[in-house]
């Protein structure tokens, strides 16, 4: 059973240490507008900005190439830098798309990236970052299913940017946006499967 | 331009080279048009137009003013446009931007030169005539504001009712007659990407384009044109585009008329 909650709503009368919640007088309240899943004891926010975590895989666009550092656009309020190591042999131009891992977060809002992989051609789709876990799905079932039906290469970044190339990009985009819109509903994997099967033949 | 726009621009060019558009349309195909007229009760006329994801709201207000000195027995038409920050990340508050002025001028020119509003009918008495204010508000931007604006302005004008005028006073609660509209005009905007002219360009296609032309037509004549951006069109291309614009007018005129009950 899932209930809509607004900030300040009591989700449990026991103190629970859960994300997006706070404890007051031994009871748990929600910090966000979202959905509360009582069975799994999680608060799923509907909106919100992306909070980077170490080892997150992200998709970004190089905006500036300086002698010893690349500045990367992750559609994030802070800065993201890619510092080539001694043995790295890659070279990027502004406008290149990369996927990379977060190596470190310096201060409050500077992200240091590592292990970049160039993504050539294709396009980028921007999705609300809080919906990304739903786009990936459990054991990445959702994104695999979309990639299979549309024949598209898909790379999902935790920051909300998704890279798409080849195949039926229009179908993949439509499916991804459908996931974003209906992320709070249950049984989504099956809904998307039906949607893909229906639209594939056309 | 932001980094993501650069990526999308190169993607659009890649697709155009293969002969496909971003949303799978043909080169001379319009997006779906949805018109809701008479949305605002306090305005004398109004219409909201959805052109794909682009949304424009038009409102018409009639005020009793003095006529211009050179046309003492005519009313006036004023079109203005506002690009709300709500519509796109690149729009900001403040004085009117060149884009919003251009939008207002292009829509105004089409309506004015096709003589859509019967200005003589707006004359009330000595030194008094109605001035028709058409205000366009862009609520969401996804390219092609000119055509969406023209359709919105035209639909709003068609739904306009003139308020009652009695003993030197305007009674706004009572409306006596429909505003007299003689002609219907629509416009067709083309953006040229990779040597191909695309009708009804989206925001990404506009970013990728290097030249743009807007052709405003009624049933018989080309009434106004506006060319934008640095690139050009050949005379032969323009002739083809005018042909497309005339075909387009027929379809859109029906849609506009249908929206008026």
For residue A67, what are its two tokens? 């002698």
Give the C-alpha separation, A102 to B234, whole Å: 51
Q: What is the pLDDT along chain B (261 residues), one digit of tens a residue?
A: 677 888 888 889 988 998 888 888 888 999 999 999 989 989 999 999 999 999 999 999 999 989 999 988 899 999 999 999 999 988 999 999 999 999 999 999 999 999 999 999 999 888 899 999 999 999 999 999 999 999 999 999 999 999 999 888 888 888 888 999 999 999 999 999 988 899 999 999 999 999 999 999 999 999 999 998 899 999 999 999 999 999 999 999 999 999 887
Q: Which residue, of A84, A101, A119, is where some domain finishes?
A: A119
Nearest CA in chain A to B204: A123
Place of tokens 């080309």: B222
Give the C-alpha separation, B22 to B8, whole Å: 10
Distance of CA B208 to the CA centre of its chain: 22
Number of domains in chain A: 3
> Which CATH number fits the domain that encloses residue B68?
3.30.230.70
Residues in chain A: 202
Provide ipTM, 2 decimals.
Answer: 0.71
The reply to whether residue A61 touches residue B4, judged by beta carbons under 8 angstroms, is yes
Any domain includes B22:
no
Question: Is A105 found in the same domain as A67?
Answer: yes
Any domain includes B19:
no
Any domain includes A130:
yes
Place of tokens 């004891």: A41
Q: Which residues of B touch A75 (CB under 8 A)?
A: 4
Q: Look at A88 and B113; give whichever has higher pLDDT.
A: B113
Domain that holds residue B32: 3-11+28-259
* Other Cβ atoms closer than 10 A to A9: 18
Q: Which residues of B touch A73 (CB under 8 A)?
A: 2-4
Per-residue CA distances from B176 to B5, B126, B162, B181 (Å) = 50, 20, 6, 15
Number of domains in chain B: 1
Q: Which residues of B touch A97 (CB under 8 A)?
A: 7
User: B24: distance to nearest CA of chain A, Å?
Assistant: 8
Name the residue among B75, B74, B40, B76 with its Cα closest to residue B60: B40
User: A190: distance to nearest CA of chain B, Å?
Assistant: 25
Those residues whose C-beta lies under 8 Å from the C-beta of residue B155, and which sit 6 or more positions away, are B35, B37, B47, B49, B58, B256, B259, B260
User: B164: distance to nearest CA of chain A, Å?
Assistant: 48
> Which CATH number fits the domain that encloses residue A188?
3.30.1370.10
Any domain includes B23:
no
pLDDT tens-place string over residues A91-100: 888 888 999 9
Question: Is A181 found in the same domain as A127?
Answer: yes
Any domain includes A51:
no
- For B136, half-sphere exposure in the C-beta direction (CA atoms, 13 angstrom radius) is 36
Domain that holds residue A35: 2-45
From B3, B14, B23, residue closest to A95, measured CB to CB: B3
Q: What is the DSSP letter of A129?
A: G
Give the C-alpha separation, B91 to B70, whole Å: 38
Any domain includes B226:
yes
Any domain includes B16:
no
> Which CATH number fits the domain that encloses residue A23?
2.40.50.100
Q: pLDDT tier at A202 (50, 70, 90 boundaries)?
A: low
From B3, B14, B24, residue closest to A61, measured CB to CB: B3
Any domain includes A29:
yes
Q: Hey, is A143 helix, strand or coil?
A: helix
Contact A41, A66 (CB under 8 A): no
Q: pLDDT tier at A1 (50, 70, 90 boundaries)?
A: low
Those residues whose C-beta lies under 8 Å from the C-beta of residue A108, and which sit 6 or more positions away, are A78
Full-model pTM: 0.82
Q: Which residues of B touch A126 (CB under 8 A)?
A: 4
For residue B113, what are its two tokens? 């030169």
Any domain includes B49:
yes
| pLDDT for residue A49 is more than 90 | no
Question: Is A130 found in the same domain as A190?
Answer: yes
b/e map A21-40, b = 16+ CB within 10 Å: beeeeeebbbbbbbbbeeee
Q: Which residues of A touch B23 (CB under 8 A)?
A: 170
Any domain includes A86:
yes
Q: Hey, is A63 helix, strand or coil?
A: strand
The reply to whether residue A61 touches residue B23, judged by beta carbons under 8 angstroms, is no
């Amino acid at each position: 059973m899932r209930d809509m909650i607004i900030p300040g709503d009591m989700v449990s009368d026991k103190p629970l240490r859960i994300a997006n919640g706070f404890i007051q007088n031994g009871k748990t309240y929600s910090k966000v507008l979202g959905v509360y899943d009582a069975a799994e004891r999680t608060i799923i926010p509907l909106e919100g900005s992306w909070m980077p975590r170490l080892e997150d895989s992200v998709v970004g666009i190089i905006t500036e190439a300086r002698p010893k550092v690349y500045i990367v656009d992750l559609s994030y309020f802070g800065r993201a830098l890619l510092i080539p190591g001694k043995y790295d042999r890659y070279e990027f131009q502004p406008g290149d798309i990369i996927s990379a891992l977060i190596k470190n977060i310096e201060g409050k809002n500077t992200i240091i990236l590592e292990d970049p992989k160039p993504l050539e051609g294709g396009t980028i789709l921007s999705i609300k970052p809080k919906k990304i876990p739903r786009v990936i799905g459990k054991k990445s079932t959702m994104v695999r299913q979309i990639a299979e039906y549309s024949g598209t290469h898909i790379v999902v970044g935790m920051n909300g940017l998704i890279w798409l190339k080849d195949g039926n990009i229009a179908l993949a985009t439509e499916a991804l946006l459908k996931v974003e819109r209906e992320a709070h509903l249950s049984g989504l994997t099956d809904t998307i499967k039906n949607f893909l099967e229906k639209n594939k033949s056309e | 331009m932001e980094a993501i726009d650069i990526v999308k621009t190169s993607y659009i060019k890649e697709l155009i080279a293969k002969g496909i558009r971003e949303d799978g349309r043909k080169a001379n195909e319009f997006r779906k048009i949805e018109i809701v007229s008479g949305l605002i009760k306090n305005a004398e006329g109004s219409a909201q137009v959805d052109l794909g994801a682009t949304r424009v709201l038009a409102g018409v207000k009639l005020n009793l003013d003095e006529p211009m000195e050179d046309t003492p027995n005519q009313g006036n038409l004023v079109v203005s446009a506002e690009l709300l920050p709500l519509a796109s990340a690149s729009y900001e508050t403040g004085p009117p931007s060149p884009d919003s002025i251009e939008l207002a001028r292009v829509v105004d020119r089409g309506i004015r030169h096709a003589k859509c509003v019967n200005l003589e009918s707006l004359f009330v008495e000595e030194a008094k005539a109605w001035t028709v204010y058409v205000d366009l508000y862009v609520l969401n931007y996804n390219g092609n504001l000119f055509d969406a604006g023209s359709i919105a302005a035209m639909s709003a004008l068609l739904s306009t009712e003139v308020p009652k005028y009695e003993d030197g006073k305007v009674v706004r609660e009572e409306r006596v007659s429909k505003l007299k509209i003689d002609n219907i005009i629509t416009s067709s905007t083309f953006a040229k990407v990779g040597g191909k002219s695309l009708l009804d360009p989206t925001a990404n296609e506009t970013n990728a384009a290097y030249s743009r032309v807007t052709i405003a037509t009624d049933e018989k004549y080309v009434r106004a044109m506006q060319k934008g951006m640095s690139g050009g069109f050949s005379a032969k291309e323009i002739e083809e585009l005018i042909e497309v614009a005339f075909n387009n007018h027929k379809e859109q005129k029906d849609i506009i008329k249908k929206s008026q009950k």
